[in-house]
Structure 1
Amino acid sequence: MALRAVAGSMVRRQLTPANLCVISATNHRHRSIAYPISPTGFRFSIRAIQETTTDPITPIKEDNARQSEYSPNWKVKMLYDGDCPLCMREVNMLKERNKNYNAINFVDISSDDYSPVDNQGLDYETAMGKIHAIMSDGTIVTNVEAFRKLYEAVGLGWMYAITKYEPVATIADAVYGVWAKYRLQVTGRPPLEDVLEARKKKDEICNDSKSCRM
């Protein structure tokens, strides 16, 4: 009894409104806290609840069509036909290699946004005839030389090194010329004339309705 009296006296003497402690609850659990409300020693229990709020997470949207292909410090620009399935195998391989080099700027000539003005005046028809690459100084290279420059930019120049020398250079260009001439038929697409006509009609419809580009 004596101990209880002493303890009660200490509580009444110490827990006054002037020296109450600030009590905070944790973010992860609830805690019942004895909180004095008057010098008389009466207490009541309050349930301190800290609600955890979660900010909504906004997914980061990546522009796969542009940002993933553009390299600010590019050494060579590759004009490629995005509608050619066989061509895309090689393009995708170069894109994967380019992640470590950032040396190639890839431009899809089949895109509605393709602009000859931004690519040394090379229009769609010309670019479709054979592969074109544009060096950072504006020089245009074609045929096997274009492949050689592209492969050199991503550390695979040894694969085309032999094409620098005759008669290999002439033979390689001749073989590629045959492929370039018939690649549409080989990949199951209509002749270039039909592709050009379809693109022309599409451009006319887009220009009239202004609904092709968002």
Structure 2
Amino acid sequence: MPVQMTLFYDGECPLCVAEMRRLSKADQKSHLRLIDINSTAFEEFPHIDATEASRILHGLAADNTLYLGLDATYHAWRLVGKGRWVKLTRLPGLKTLFDAGYRLFARHRYTISRWLTGQSRCSSGVCHKR
């Protein structure tokens, strides 16, 4: 089956890289294409704004629907058959709260990564302290 969604993620963020590895492992049917926004592969997508993609996760569905933040996360996990746990973040009433939390995480992802993993940045998929 062809790729159903391309995710544009920050390959310098240890927590983001870990999430993409989990998604990739769960993607048994190759529904996802994962693109590090810091890689040359990102150049294939000039219509995706690099500044915005570094600010918030972008997911481009096969039908050209653009999903942002937790909407992209939800659709990606749903495509790999594991969307039940993240579906809670999309429920009315909770969505606003989770989206605010995601925006806070995204803004401070390097600091949060350092707190949780001891690593603040990755380079070429290898994380290290800075």
Q: What TM-score do the two structures reach when normalised by structure 1?
A: 0.50
- What is the Cα deviation at residue 120 of structure 1? 6.3
The question of whether the paired residues in 2 share the 8 Å contact of 1:109 and 1:127 is answered with yes
The equivalent position to 1:160 in structure 2, one of 65, 69, 86, is: 86
Segments of 5+ residues of structure 2 without an aligned counterpart are: 114-119, 122-130
Cα distance in 1 for partners of 2:10, 2:103 equals: 16
Residue pairs, 1:37-52, within 5 angstroms: none
2:20 corresponds to 1:94? no
The equivalent position to 2:105 in structure 1, one of 176, 179, 182, is: 179
The equivalent position to 1:130 in structure 2, one of 44, 48, 56, is: 56
The question of whether the paired residues in 2 share the 8 Å contact of 1:103 and 1:154 is answered with yes
Question: Which residue pairs with 2:31 in the alignment?
Answer: 103
Q: Aligned residues: percent identity?
A: 25
**Which amino acid is the alignment partner of residue 2 of structure 2?**
N
Change in CA separation of 1:113 and 1:152 when aligned onto 2, cut-off 3 Å: closer
Larger radius of gyration: 1
The question of whether the paired residues in 2 share the 8 Å contact of 1:75 and 1:136 is answered with yes
Provide the aligned length of Structure 1 versus Structure 2.
115
**Which amino acid is the alignment partner of residue 77 of structure 1?**
T
- What is the Cα deviation at residue 102 of structure 1? 1.0
**Which amino acid is the alignment partner of residue 73 of structure 1?**
P
Instruction: Summarize deviations over 1:161-185 as a string: whole Å, max 9, x none.
Output: 2223211111110110100111133
Instruction: Summarize deviations over 1:71-92 as a string: whole Å, max 9, x none.
Output: x701111111111111111110
Segments of 5+ residues of structure 1 without an aligned counterpart are: 1-71, 190-214
The equivalent position to 2:7 in structure 1, one of 75, 78, 81, is: 78
Cα distance in 1 for partners of 2:85, 2:45 equals: 27
Instruction: Summarize deviations over 1:91-123 as a string: whole Å, max 9, x none.
Output: 10111111x1211011111113421xx436113
Residue 137 of structure 1 aligns to a residue whose secondary structure is: coil
Change in CA separation of 1:85 and 1:121 when aligned onto 2, cut-off 3 Å: same
Q: Aligned-residue CA RMSD in angstroms?
A: 1.7
Greater fraction helix: 2
Greater fraction strand: 2
